[in-house]
Amino acid sequence: MATFNFELVSPERQLFSGQVEQIVVPGADGDFGVLAGHAPFVASLRPGILTIHGDGQPKRLYVRGGFAEVSDGSLTVLAERATPVEDLRADQIDAEIKDAQDDVADAKDDATRSKAAERLGQLQSLKGALGTIGATH
C-alpha cells in the first residue's frame, strides 16, 4: 500500500512524524480516512480516537480540538490535546464530561447550549467506546 507523510502535533510536543498507510480522523462532521493521494482539504476535529495505520499494530490516540489539513501528499493534525489511548484514565474523561455538563447548565443562549450539548454527547460516546475496548484504567 502507498504511504504518505503524517504529522500529529499538540501544544506540548510533536507526537508523531513519519510515513503511514492510512489515518482515520475524528472530524467535526464525522470520522474520515486519509490515504496516499487524498484530495486537499481542511477539517475541524471533534473529541475522538485518531487511528494511525502503518507498520505493525495501529496506534490509537484520543484527540480533542484542533484541525486536520491534507495537502501535497501529507496530512498534518494540530490537536488541542492528544493522548495515547493506553494513557487515558476514566477519571480524566469523567472530569471532561463534568465540565461539559457545567457548560450546558451555564449556557446563556441556545447556540452556546447546543454546542456544549454536542461536546457532552461526543465525550459520553468516547467514554462508552473506550469502555467497550477496556482502554480506560
d(CA 26, CA 29): 8
Residue numbers of the chain with a pLDDT score lower than 70 = 129, 131-137
- Please count the other Cβ atoms lying within 10 Å of the Cβ belonging to residue 7: 15
Give the per-residue pLDDT at 50: 95
Give the per-residue pLDDT at 48: 86
Domain ranges of the chain: 4-86, 88-133
Query: What's domain 4-86's architecture?
Result: Sandwich (2.60)
d(CA 47, CA 124): 10
Alpha helices in the chain, H assignment, sequence order = 90-106, 110-133
19 forms bridges with which residues in the sheet?
A: 5
Give the per-residue pLDDT at 69: 97
Give the per-residue pLDDT at 132: 52
d(CA 126, CA 137): 14
Give the per-residue pLDDT at 137: 41
Residue type for 16, please?
F
